[in-house]
Amino acid sequence: MKRIFFIRHAKSSWADFNLSDIDRPLNKRGHRDAPFMAKKLSAIIPAVDLIICSPARRAQETHTYFSSHIKSKETQTLSHVYHAAEHTLVDVIHDIDPSYETALIFGHNPGFSMIHDRFSHDYIDNLPTCGIFELRIDSEWADADTTNTIVGHLIYPKLYLS
């Protein structure tokens, strides 16, 4: 079974309106939540074959916290993951090297909420910042679809922190 964990970037800062969207960093809460959630996820999966990350600064900073807890064989920054639509995220899944069994992907809403809802019986309106969900694929990456893919874990900071 293939497993991919979607990790929405942690809470980002809007303090500097002169920054472009792609350059926004994490804010104080983001710097609190990301290492906390990285530890939670590392208890589920301590190592993966592949990490895929959006080029956005907030996604890259979130990834940095997770990579200190979860080891990977390969890391890729893919520009098309930045604010990717649902169909683009499906293409990303389909393009994963077939020899890999596990992956993490760091990115954004609304695409992440939409990909969750595509494969889940439980609708979520909004995957919270630093929220994580798992897709379990009972086939090859290239064949992942609604007949062989289900949502596994779904965790987010407010389950644990106030």
Domain ranges of the chain: 6-15+20-159
| pLDDT at residue number 121 | 87
Amino acid, res. 36: F
**Distance of CA 59 to CAs 99, 118, 121, Å?**
26, 22, 27
Compute the distance between CA of residue 7 and CA of residue 63 in angstroms, rounded to an integer: 9
Query: Tokens 């809403």 sit at which residue?
Result: 109
Confirm if 130 and 7 have CB atoms less than 8 A apart.
Answer: yes
* Backbone CA torsion sign across 86, 115, 80, 91: negative
Please tell me the pTM assigned to this model. Answer: 0.97
Q: Report phi then psi at 48, rounded to 5.
A: -135, 165
pLDDT of residue 69: 97
Parts of the chain with a pLDDT under 50: none
pLDDT confidence of residue 161? 87
Residue 162 is predicted with a pLDDT of 72
Record the tokens describing residue 26, joined without a space: 């994490």
**pLDDT score recorded for residue 159:** 95
- CATH architecture of the domain 6-15+20-159 equals 3-Layer(aba) Sandwich (3.40)
